Structure 1
Amino acid sequence: MAKLKVAVFISSRGTNMQSLVRACQVPNFPAEIACVLSNNLEAAGLKFAAEHSIPTRTIDHRDFDGREEFEAEITRYLTDLNVDLICLAGFMRLLTADFVNRWRDRILNIHPSLLPAFKGLHVHERAIESGARFTGCTVHYVRPEMDDGPIIAQAAVPILQDDTPDSLASRILEQEHKIYPLALGLVAENRVKIHGSRVIIEQAREEPLSLINPRLEEI
């Protein structure tokens, strides 16, 4: 069975890209990284990809008159590579509705909150300030609206009483590196089915999940 061909988009170090690369290097993983694409020539993740023999490409948005021309060049490049799926991994450019709809159900994103909570920027600061006891991360299909789309996988992370945005971000990132490869594997195995705004995972194990407030015994 042919492996799913994936393009990973980054703008900086791309640690989630690195977790996807490592997953795809495992024998029998159902996907392969066809390219790593960045809008930033200085993105540190490009070096990592090259060191792992993955084709890289920089398409600088500043070289184009508008987002449409920029995205048209991306589409030409991905089409030439016969890419099946795009994984956004810290790609700091908003994609137009036309591009998202052109690749509908073929773009994944990871966001550092339990969507639909805390969409947008400054996520960790907002989560702490809200008084929430848990936050986390989400892998979802991309829709034209920001941080919207059917959810494939999530991981919950407790917000500790002494957390800072940096300490919370670090613990969430550890979970991001786990659930993004998990979600990609499910999609590549064709086990993910979209029903309206929901995702159904075929052959999923139904396991009970309970969460309690962190350090509740100390209160």
Structure 2
Amino acid sequence: MRVAIFASGNGTNFDAIANSTELQEAGLDIEVLVCDQPNAPVIQKAKNLNIPVFVNELKNFPNRKEYERTIVDKLVPFEVEYIFLAGYMRVVTSELLNEYRNRIINIHPSLLPKFSGLDAIQRAFDSGDTETGVTIHYIDENVDTGPIICQKYIPILKTDNVETLEERIHTKEHEMYIKVILDLIKKESENVNFEKGID
């Protein structure tokens, strides 16, 4: 499966996906990292793995449509089948969405619809709730509202601070994203075999 990963920051989910032996053996091929922050640590992680990097800053474009059109044009030669958002801090709009309808997947550090948008971990911690979690979902036209693929609960412990909660959430994110991608590769493989008439 040929994919692009979009990220804006440290790239912990990118790192987990790119270095997963299970995903490599299953046939995951990360064609390109798309990043909107030229100094993001995730860029060096991709370079260390010889994964091409495309840095695209919104400030260089008059509007979001042209910004995303440039990304679409960049992805075409890679024949990308899916896009995985892994800490990508831009809202995806119709220009990209229409090209990859039902093929853009995001991971969010809360139990959506609660704490959608930015600073989800901090907001959950400050809320007084006793639990939060991780959601993996398809992207649609709105923010963090697409069809949910899976969710996992994570308790907010009395001994937690934001950093310890964030660490547990990231650990769960990595496990979940790898499993979702493995399931997706299996499903796509079964679809191909069905179309070819292979039992």
The answer to whether TM tops 0.5 is yes
Query: Greater relative contact order (Cα 8 A, min sep 6): structure 1 or 2?
Result: 2
> Structure 2 counterpart of 1:187, which letter?
L
Q: Which has the higher helix share?
A: 2
In structure 2, what is the Cα distance between the partners aligned to 1:131 and 1:167? 16
Q: How far 1:173 sits from its partner (Å)?
A: 0.7
Contact 1:88–1:109 (Cα < 8 Å) also in 2: yes
The separation in 2 between residues aligned to 1:115 and 1:25, in whole angstroms, is 28
Cα distance change on mapping 1:169 and 1:38 into 2, 3 Å: same
Q: 2:102 aligns with which of 87, 101, 105?
A: 105
Question: Could you say what the CA RMSD is over the residues aligned between the two structures, in angstroms?
Answer: 1.9
Query: Which residue in 2 is equivalent to 1:58?
Result: 55
More deviation in 114-123 or 176-185? Answer: 114-123
TM-score (norm 1): 0.80
- Aligned equivalent of 1:143: 140
Q: Note the residue ranges of structure 2 that are not aligned, 5 or more in a row.
A: 189-199
Identity %: 35
Alignment-derived partner of residue 28 in structure 1: 25
- Equivalence map 1:141-180=2 (5 Å): 141-180=138-177
Tell me by how many angstroms 1:186 deviates.
1.1
Q: What is the rounded CA distance, in whole Å, between the counterparts of 2:120 and 2:9 in structure 1?
A: 18
Per the alignment, residue 41 of structure 2 pairs with 44
The 8 Å contact of residues 72 and 99 in structure 2, kept in 1 or not, is answered as: no
Q: In terms of mean alpha carbon deviation, does 173-182 or 99-108 score higher? A: 99-108
TM-score in terms of structure 2 length:
0.88
2:81 is aligned, of 72, 81, 84, to: 84
Match of 1:216 in 2: none
1:210 maps to which residue?
none
Unaligned runs of 5+ residues in structure 1 are 192-219
Q: Rate the CA distance shift 1:40–1:122 in 2: closer, same or farther, 3 A.
A: closer
Deviation at 1:25, TM superposition (A): 6.8
